[in-house]
Each structure stands twice: as C-alpha cells, then as structure tokens.
Structure 1
Amino acid sequence: MKRQMSKWLEEYRNAAEKKAMPILSFPGKTLIDAELDALVHSGRLQADCMEAVAKAFPQAAATVSLMDLSVEAEAFGSKIFFNNTEPPAVIDSIIETEEDVDALRVPEVGEGRTGECVEGIRLACEKITDRPVLAGIIGPFTLAGRLMDMSKTMIACRKKPDMLHKLLEKNTEFLIKYVLAMKAAGANGVVMAEPAAGLINPKFNRAFSLPYVEKIRAACEDDNFLFIYHNCGDTIPQLKDIPELTGIKAVHLGNAIDMEEALRILPERILAMGNLDPSNVFCLGTPELVAAETKAMMEKCGKYPNYAPSSGCDIPPATPMENVEAFYHAVEDFYKQK
C-alpha cells in the first residue's frame, strides 16, 4: 500500500505515545510453524511470517522481511551455510586480490535468493495494509566484509584503500538495484544493516561506509519511501557524522551503545530506534527480565521525543514468544503510567 512516508515519519516521531518497532522477523517462524531453512528460501513463507507477526503484535511498522545478511553475498557468488537453528552465514571469502575485484561481476536482482526476498516483500505488501512494510538489505561496507573477509576488509582500509573503494562501488551499484526492486515491489521503506561500520574508527567510516550509504539512500528515498540506517556497534563517536554527511532521517542502534548518550548527540529531527539486548534479554531472558529491562530502557530514553522503543538488532530465531509479548506490554505500560 502506497504511503506518504515523510508524513508518517513526522507523525510517528511527534507522537506522545509510540508503538514499539523491534526488528522482529525470524521468531515469527514459530507463528507459522515453518523451519528456518525453508523460511530463508521462500518468499511466500517470508510474507506469511511478516503477516503473522503483524497480526500478533502492535508494531508501528512491519519490520523487516528478514535481516539475513548472507543474501546479497550469495548473489555475488559466496557460498552459504544453512541450518535450522541460526540465520545463514557466509562460509568463505571470494575476494583476495585487486584482480578478483576487477573480475567481480555485479549480479542482477533475482540471482541467488534475492528474487525470493523481493517476492516476499510483494506478497507481504498485499497482506499487510494497516501499517508500513519495511524491507531489509545489507550495507555496502558490511557486504565487503562478507565478500573479502572482515579482518582483511579492515586491513584494506589502511593498506589497500583503492581496492576497497572499487569493491564498494560494485556493492553500491548492486544494492541500489536491489533496494529499488524492493521499492517497486511495494515496500514503504528499507532498513539497511551496516553493522561492520561499528568496527572501524570515524575516519574510516567517513571514507568507506557513509559516502556509499548516502549514495544508496539518495537513490531510493523520497516522500513515499523511508531509508533507515542500522548500526549495532559501539558507535558514539560516529553519530556526529550522520547528520553532517548524510540525509538520513531515521537510525536504528544496537545494544552496544548507550542509547541515552546517542539521543543527546543526534538532532531531534532524526528518529532514533533501539536498543534492548536481542540475545541476553529477548532470547535468553525470562518475561520478567524483558519487562524489567524494557521499563528501565523506557524510563531512561522515553523522555526524548525522537526516541522509538525497539530491539538492539534482529531478534534471534529461538526467542520465546512470551518474551516478545512482555516487551510490547512493558512499552504500553510505560506510556499508560506516564
């Protein structure tokens, strides 16, 4: 369903009581009784999963199709390890030398599982019409870490910057095509996961991540399509560069960061979502722990008008549904008491 997302963002940011917007995708497999391996291979199941989550919980938006950070690397030719307990993972790097980068072919949307993910968004948009539907893609620097190996990518920032820029240009070319395909399929926005940027210092982030992120954002975002930037690193020093170097209007931050400190740094015009621990609290905790930690998070951050309650990252597949329910209830209770 087409929406004026610039207006939606303004209304959501200005709302005195905000519906929670966790990154809740993989645990939805429980609601449709699907195996994880089947879910990551089927656009139909991904749409069914998003619909089931949307029906079960009062989300502000249906987020995201799946935060599967292997999809784009697979389209470039990476080998992927699949199982039924954890999200898919890239097995080996395919980039060793600058010659490998020169020979790397930029794939078309539809190769690997990208076609299924686009189809999942198309079907989800038919099923979910009462709130925005947000797609998910990997960020350009994080994709480089999948294709080249993360440690080698970090070394390349210092020793092989020209090679790394060549790879990032190809990544960006593909990601623009991919996100525009999601947009054409009906998505109201996209969450770009760029967690690897949290591993590098601000200087390298300004050189090797943010310019390419901004190029993708500028190519896809308009009044009807929202771009959300996700970084789950301890990135306080990097936050000042976001409003200065990009047009990003919404960020999603991980639990490694002090959320209140981030809210003090970011201008009020930028919506800041986060950041309850997805593993130790959502997945491994009890409903009582989830409720207590959510209450503490809301009491600390809920006074900031541009804050939106969310998970710190994608909630793990094995997370009990009662823990997810406890999170939503705790957010609602905070606003009722307020």
Structure 2
Amino acid sequence: MDFKNMTLMEYITSEPRRFFLTDLGTNGLKFVNKKVYEVYENPEIQFEMAKILDQEFPGDFVYPLSDGNIISETLGVKLLKPDYDFPSPLEHKVLTIEDVRALKVPDPKKDGRMPTNLKSQNLIATGIDKPLYVSIFGPFTLAVQLAGATHLLRELIKNKDFVVELLDFTARCVCTYAKAVVEAGVKYMSIAEPASVTLSPENFRELVLPRLKSVYESVDCWKQLHICGDTRKFLPLMIESGPDAISLDQIMDLKSAVKIFPDDIVLVGNIDPIDIIGRGSVEDVERVTYKLLEDLEAYPNYMVAFGCNAPNDAPDENIKRAIEITKSYMTKF
C-alpha cells in the first residue's frame, strides 16, 4: 500500500475495516532475549525486534522500542535504567534561568545515542512496509524531566520567566529531534504530554498550546497528541494544537469525546491497558474491544488502540485478540 502519499485519514479508511495502533511497553524484549539498553544501542537488534513484534502483533503500524527519555538523557539528566522497563529521571538539575542558558539544543546527528536511534528508525522504516510510529515527549513534559514537576509548578507562580525560557528551549529541542526522526523515515509521530494534565486550561493555552503548534508545524508527517488522564477540559485546546490524531486515556468516554472532533482529526483509543490488556481475560478483551467498535461504528475517524502503552508483562494473547477483532471488524461507511 502506498501510504507515503496518504493522509492519516486516507490510510485508516483505505480498507473496509477498522485499523489498529499497537502501543507496547517492553513486551518485545523476550523475543530477542535482550535488555532495554542492549536494544537501544544496537540498530540491528532494534530492527530484528521490530520485525518479530510485527509478526507477533500485526497491527497497522510498526514501531521501535520506545525511547521517550532520549532527549533528556542527551541533555545530561541522570536516569534510572532498569533492565526490562523504560528509564526514568533520577534527578532534576535545571533550576534557574542560568541553568537553562547553559544548555545547548542537542544535534540528533552527533550527540549521545541520538545517531544510533536514528539509524534504528531508518532500518525499520526502509525494512518493513508499514508506517513507522514513534512517541516523543513534548516540550512541557521534557521541561518537567529537566526541572522537576514540583519546582516547575512552583516557579510558574514565583518566577514565570524561568518557566517560559525553559519551555522555549525544550520546544527547540523537540522540534529539532522531531525533524530528524521524520528525515530518518518516521511517518507517524505522537507527542506525549502527560505532565501537562497538571495545568489549568488557561496555563495550557499559554504555555503548552503554542509550543505544540510549533512542533507540529515543523514536520511533514502524521502527527498525534497524547495526554494521560482526564483531559475533558483540554480537548478543545488539544484539537486546536493542530494534530492529525488525538489519543485518549482509558478513563475518557470516547462516545462523548468524538462528538466534538472535526471529521479530519482521528480519535485514537482507548482499551484499558492495565485492567483489560494487562490483567483481564481474553473474554474481557473481546467484550471491551467489541463495545468500542460498536460505540464508534458511525465514525470513520476512529482508530482502535490502548489507552496508553501495554504493560510489559501483558499476556500476548490479550494483545493479539484485540488486534484480531479490530482488523476483522468491517466498516459500514
């Protein structure tokens, strides 16, 4: 299929069935018998794992092992690095405007693991004939990784100039990296802004919205926005930011949310990854997946996915069954 010249809407309506976006954790490590950083640091292993995952869980997109902390790591953030789970920040050292001004936007072709990551993405994009999907932390969440949530929110009240300058810097970092991954072959890029759910809609409009727009306007690919949690108060702003798709958490009612979606923005979600995919039975997966498909049956701009990435130890049969049901569900429009 020549998806390269399609819009996301054209792609997910190119066949008379529903499409599935598979978003996994470290579920693929067992297939290659490797630890997280062994995959991150070896493009050939990353490519091999992507091929196996595409065979085991054949959704409509292909993906590398998520590397959401790569920008913060390249900027010097010390990370906790579990063998079989994603890394996470251990400390936050960007506390003043002077700290921000001492930072430099990383060069994805030279700095840290970024060149290796780009090579991995290019191998997958050229070696597997499906759109390559990646998730990148957005400017606000990257700022939280650098400064810490408590400090950033406190400074929002006491010293807003610090917050604004830090966000301007992180937006440049995300734009630069986003351009590089698209050049490497990424077709579908999701910006994850989980930390922004702590803001008021007014602060979201001022601090997050313009920087999301700048990221989306900087790249030519399919663009998605994902924010965890209850995002009802942000939905109009999320739509305004300019993505091709919006992914919603499992606590959101998609049947209600879709009513305010423009016809050309794809609603993505939202099978519960914890209680259904991670802990439920195959029968639970069938019940929830069919209900979503039936609830959203009238909307061409709907694509099935988990509410967030699947737990690392989720039963394979649960993931497979959700994909099978979705891809065999015929559309009526």
TM-score (norm 1): 0.90
Tell me if 1:294 matches 2:289.
yes
**Map of 1:216 onto structure 2:** 215
Tell me if 1:21 matches 2:1.
no
Distance 2:275 2:117 in 1: 29
Residue type of the alignment partner of 2:53: V
Alignment of 1:60-99 (within 5 A): 60-62=60-62, 64-99=63-98
**Map of 1:229 onto structure 2:** 225
What SS is found at the alignment partner of 1:248?
coil
**Map of 1:258 onto structure 2:** 253
**Map of 1:281 onto structure 2:** 276
Deviation of 1:282 after TM superposition, in Å, equals 1.5
Tell me if 1:313 matches 2:312.
no
Deviation of 1:14 after TM superposition, in Å, equals 6.8
Counterparts in 2 of 1:5 and 1:203: CA distance versus 1, 3 Å = farther
Deviation of 1:236 after TM superposition, in Å, equals 1.0
Alignment of 1:127-206 (within 5 A): 127-129=127-129, 131-206=130-205
Per-residue CA distance 1:11-37 (angstroms, 9 max, x = gap): 414754222112135212233333234
313-322 vs 9-18, greater mean Cα deviation: 9-18
Distance 1:198 1:44 in 2: 37
What SS is found at the alignment partner of 2:204?
helix
What SS is found at the alignment partner of 1:198?
helix
What SS is found at the alignment partner of 1:24?
coil
Residue type of the alignment partner of 2:114: T
What SS is found at the alignment partner of 1:209?
helix
Distance 2:293 2:36 in 1: 32
Tell me if 1:116 matches 2:116.
yes
**Map of 1:331 onto structure 2:** 326
Distance 2:163 2:2 in 1: 37
Counterparts in 2 of 1:206 and 1:13: CA distance versus 1, 3 Å = farther
Distance 1:32 1:336 in 2: 36
Counterparts in 2 of 1:145 and 1:303: CA distance versus 1, 3 Å = same
Deviation of 1:287 after TM superposition, in Å, equals 2.2
Contact 1:193–1:231 under 8 Å retained in 2: yes
Distance 1:331 1:255 in 2: 17
Deviation of 1:8 after TM superposition, in Å, equals 4.8
Deviation of 1:76 after TM superposition, in Å, equals 0.8
What SS is found at the alignment partner of 2:107?
coil
Residue type of the alignment partner of 2:278: C
Distance 1:233 1:161 in 2: 25
Distance 1:318 1:16 in 2: 32
Residue type of the alignment partner of 1:116: T
Deviation of 1:193 after TM superposition, in Å, equals 1.2
Distance 2:222 2:327 in 1: 25
Counterparts in 2 of 1:291 and 1:36: CA distance versus 1, 3 Å = farther
**Map of 2:42 onto structure 1:** 42
Distance 2:183 2:293 in 1: 36
Deviation of 1:333 after TM superposition, in Å, equals 5.2
Deviation of 1:45 after TM superposition, in Å, equals 2.4
**Map of 1:32 onto structure 2:** 32
Contiguous gaps of at least 5 residues in structure 2: none
Deviation of 1:213 after TM superposition, in Å, equals 1.0
Contact 2:267–2:302 under 8 Å retained in 1: yes
Distance 1:15 1:242 in 2: 28
Tell me if 1:240 matches 2:236.
yes
Matched positions, count:
332
Residue type of the alignment partner of 2:260: I
Counterparts in 2 of 1:189 and 1:331: CA distance versus 1, 3 Å = closer
Distance 1:2 1:104 in 2: 41
Contact 1:197–1:209 under 8 Å retained in 2: yes
Contiguous gaps of at least 5 residues in structure 1: none
